[in-house]
Structure 1
Amino acid sequence: MSLALAVLLAFGIGLAALVAVVVGVAVGWITRRVADETAVRGLIALAVGAAALPGVVAWAVVDADRSSLASAVDLGFGPLSTAVAALVAVVVGGVAAGVVGTAAVAGVLAARPDLPGVDDPAAARRRYLRYLTALFAVAFAVVSAAGPLLRTGPLGVGAVLALAAPAFWIGGPFLSVLVAGGGTRPPTDAEAARVERLRDACDVDVRGVRVVEGGDRHVALNLLGAPRARVLFVSAAALDALDDGTLTALLVARREQAARYERPAAAAAVLLAAVPLVAGLYDGLPTLVGVGAAAAVVLAGFALTRRLRLRADDRAADRVGAAALATAFERACEVAGFDAGDDSAWNWLSSEPSLARRIERLRRRAARSE
């Protein structure tokens, strides 16, 4: 890659970051008037959206010049030099995505530093930088590795999609460790003993436990991975601020979500949406039809996963009680400084039902059982 191209690429990334900051400030002002849950989802969508285009462009530009890069890093063995050149493209694309996406986050937090779940804007920016860089770098690495298959046409693309869905599901714990913004660590002896008591009470079997560092208002508890290989991720803030009853209710809810394969269903919806897009590239399907079909697949998949989440809540309520589960959700929101607010009119764009709707359903169920 020539020096002129490298300078032009750096200038483009810098300009994109500047635009992202301005857009972020505007979005931050707008989110002052919306519910906390909608604001947080908007921040995440903006961060990923702002990171995507410059990341893809930077990766594609560098990867397209892979032969000259391989010559520049000649290691005496052609395939190894090519692999190193591909790795350079992956890193550049990941860094570009991380920088621009984090710039958008910085703009939002400049306009709204009191955003729920953010107790330190500087720490939040660092978390997003690590998260976005790792997320896009992994995505570009997968695409690079699958390049020969992708170039064979629709069958190759289908094979990549069929392999990618279970790979990301099984590799979920590894990816979570890689992209965790605040980093993860093994639990202390006291934390491990407490988590083991909670798991026994909830009948949850996991391969390991990781504690996520993310600040005093980062409240999270997740079960990731395939059955018999799941890893429990729990934030330090959740362990410090929530009592055993609350954590038990939240863990039961996560167990039921994992039992209904909610995350794989959401991922499958996104991956399946690529089918009509690929058909447009290879089989002459009109672009508008392909995009429309992809959007329909995603929306239908998200509707399904929202239903799965509500069904999981019902099963969890059978175990711990609807009122107890609703109270656990409310307590977690309180610790995070998060106002669940009202059910969002834009929730059909999300794979998760709004927390307000979930709590309301549980309260209604508890009232009926009294």
Structure 2
Amino acid sequence: MAPMTEVRTGSDWDPRAPEVLADQLTAYDAMRGRCPVAHSDYLGWTLFRHDDVVAAARDHDTFSNVVSPRVSVPNGMDPPEHTEHRRINERYFTPERMSALEPAVRDIAARLVADLPRGGPTEVMDPLARAFALRVQSAFMGWPAALEGPLRDWTLRNHRASLSRDPEALAAVALEFDGYIRGEIAARRRTAGLVSAPGDVTAELLTERVDGRPLTDEELVSLIRNWTVGELSTIAACVGILVHALAERPEVQQLLRTDPAAIPSAVDELLRIHPPLVANRRRATRDVEVAGRRIPAGAPVTLLWASANRDETVMGDPDEFRLDRDPADNLLYGTGIHACPGAPLARLELQVMVEALLAGTEHLGPVTDAVRAAYPASGYTALMVGVR
């Protein structure tokens, strides 16, 4: 076997440079062509190309998901530990459970769309996108309406801490969130066995067992944290991206108004063009070469989904909207054993929201203002769209 290519490991780019944060997708597109495996102090080694990201995501032996000292269920685990915890996760996203939840999701979406002001530019991120993600997650978990405000505020603080990568800020927001979840767990335990006890997902999780033992509180909190952070941030980003896309692509909006059966495929395609999840972290378990760059054992590795899903060698023109693409090429929900376990819920939510938007309005657009989100988020922090 030929020796690995030795390449300088200084900083190839700055993921936090103003021009990158101002327009992430354009910056990632440029990096994919210029330096498809790039090193930075902030992200470690970043993989930009579709083939490289897929290969790494499917090779958990070389690119480990165990990247933090904190317990992370299940996405921060590798087999064999990952296998049993993933099995528990998948039980909560079955077709039967999604069908049972669908009426609540439709009601939430319809009410929020009906409440949007008509006739002029309307801000949609807070009253629609973020509210939808929060209320669906609360309905799914069985949480009280009183938790909505604190969780909304927590989401904003969590994003700021993630962007700064300040260890103290990250620890503080993690501790705050854990407090909310431990409170819900304690409430279920106090009513366990009572006729009036809630039969919700949070209560059901208390009965789960892994390797013959109950889940620890640390595992329960981590599992629920991962579900909730993914829901509150990523689903809200998805809704904003979809509203922006429908408003900016009137031909797509008209197609879906005429042919609602195309909505599921259209949602996946629009979110391929503008990916809502920017990246996931991995850790190299051994020295490995990717595209001529030597990544040393122990090094942090970033899988940049927001670049891979726009790779011209697989997608052609990454901004072209097409419904005839091979769904297997779309990395919207990841790939390999760590692909998003909550994908069935996400697909339900996003299909229902687009249906509600189109059924509850005559037209969306134009976009009068859009403030892009900065890494590690995607989509928009604010979005003004005409609604009538």
Instruction: Calculate the TM-score normalised by the size of structure 2.
Output: 0.29
Quick check: which one's strand share is greater?
2
Q: Which has the higher contact order (CA 8 A, sep 6+)?
A: 2
| Greater Rg over alpha carbons, structure | 1
Quick check: which one's helix share is greater?
1
Instruction: Calculate the TM-score normalised by the size of structure 1.
Output: 0.31
